[in-house]
Structure 1
Amino acid sequence: MVVLSILEKGVHSYNGCLFAQPLLTKACTSAFTGALGDFLGQLITKQPSINLFSIARYASFGFVVTGPMAHHFYKMLDKVVPASVWGAAFKRLLLDRLLFAPLLLLLSLYLLSKLEGKSHRTCMGEVRLKYWAALKMNWKVWTPVQYININYIPQQYRSLFANVVAIFWIIYLTNKRRQAAAKNH
């Protein structure tokens, strides 16, 4: 009963924040899940020490990029393709998979490298090296998730739903980035 009470209070508090400050709430949630995904990725790969700068990069990216982009994309998606439109589920999925996902992945790969202090040339080289493989994996992993998210999850919870799944995606991405870095050293 105590756990249920705490959970109910947490949900009530989150809903209050979501109502009062939806963009800020989604940005904070994205920051938290980004940091958590990177932290767990570091634990799983048994890094010699926890890289707090890496965690901060993922948190910053979630706060500044992922949270706001997802918030605005999901709002726009409902306006551009209302649920009442014929084939809405498929059309929404196509917009997400062919426009939003490629752009967000490109920004992720580039900006996370840039936040590591790498040059534009180096960042672009990493993007060219990793983008296509990561996008194909994104399409495999995220297509069923996003189908559910954009067609069955209420708009105000779509970012949260995606953020929870993103914890595992970030673990995958951080491990791929660390494997690539280990090969280059």
Structure 2
Amino acid sequence: MPAQSVLIRDSSFLTRVLQQYLSLLKRYPIITKSVTSGFLSALGNLLSQALEYRKSNKENSPKKKINVLGPVHFAIFGLFITGPVSHYIYHLLEVLLPNTVPYCLIKRLLLERLIFAPAFLLLFYVIMNALEGKTLADLQNKIKTSYWPAMKMNWKVWTPIQFININYVPVQFRVLFANLVALFWYAYLSSVRK
């Protein structure tokens, strides 16, 4: 069984916020992970747009406007897909490949990287296409032009992160850990999907 967090008593603001988060995580794990995923996904999209805006200002190119629907779409994806799906995937990995299974560390990583990651990235493309009101032809074109480069980048960036996450981070914090890294990953995905 993965290590569990212990709530400590301290009056500092950050400690109280952490205590509240841990309490919510214990009482409402899926909802807490989903809301956290939605918030951090939206923040990642805003980060991407801010970087693009800043870059366009430096290059004297036409100024890009902030697309307010971008963070909304990412929040929806994080809230309804990333949070709950990740919760169940991480728990499924623990059930299918407990620490007693020989080579479980590598097997978990391979299962996550070769099965779950490609499917999840495809799901991202499909859902975002629908949220953006684009056509099936748009989706096919986007997959054709950017899915494989994004998947290769996913394997490069996420493989060491997921090795640590699925093998050493306590299961209740895996979605949060991945979401903090995903803050920057979603910024990357936002830029390659354009």
TM-score with structure 1 setting the length: 0.91
In the alignment, the residues of structure 1 paired with residue 117 and residue 188 of structure 2 have an alpha-carbon distance, to the nearest angstrom, of: 16
In the alignment, the residues of structure 1 paired with residue 193 and residue 152 of structure 2 have an alpha-carbon distance, to the nearest angstrom, of: 16
Q: Deviations over 1:147-185 (max 9, x none)?
A: 00000000000000000000010111111123xxxxxxx
Post-superposition offset of 1:136: 0.6
Post-superposition offset of 1:50: 1.9
In the alignment, the residues of structure 2 paired with residue 49 and residue 117 of structure 1 have an alpha-carbon distance, to the nearest angstrom, of: 19
In the alignment, the residues of structure 2 paired with residue 56 and residue 91 of structure 1 have an alpha-carbon distance, to the nearest angstrom, of: 36
Post-superposition offset of 1:7: 1.3
Q: Deviations over 1:82-133 (max 9, x none)?
A: 0121101000000110011001100111211221100122212211221111
Post-superposition offset of 1:63: 0.6
Name the counterpart of 1:14. Answer: 21
Q: Structure 2: which amino acid aligns with 1:138?
A: N
The alignment of Structure 1 onto Structure 2 pairs a total of residues equal to: 175
State which structure, 1 or 2, has the greater radius of gyration over its C-alpha atoms: 2
Name the counterpart of 1:182. Answer: none
Quote the sequence identity (%).
Answer: 44
Name the counterpart of 2:186. Answer: 170
Q: Secondary structure at the match of 1:51?
A: coil
Q: Structure 2: which amino acid aligns with 1:104?
A: F
User: Which of 104, 113, 116 is the matching residue for 2:120?
Assistant: 104
Structure 1 stretches of 4+ moved >4 Å? none
Does structure 2 retain, via aligned residues, the 8 Å contact 1:36–1:167? yes
Contiguous gaps of at least 5 residues in structure 2: 1-10, 54-62
1:81-96 equivalences under 5 Å are 81-96=97-112
Contiguous gaps of at least 5 residues in structure 1: 179-185
Please identify, of 43-52 and 100-109, the stretch whose mean Cα deviation from structure 2 is larger: 43-52
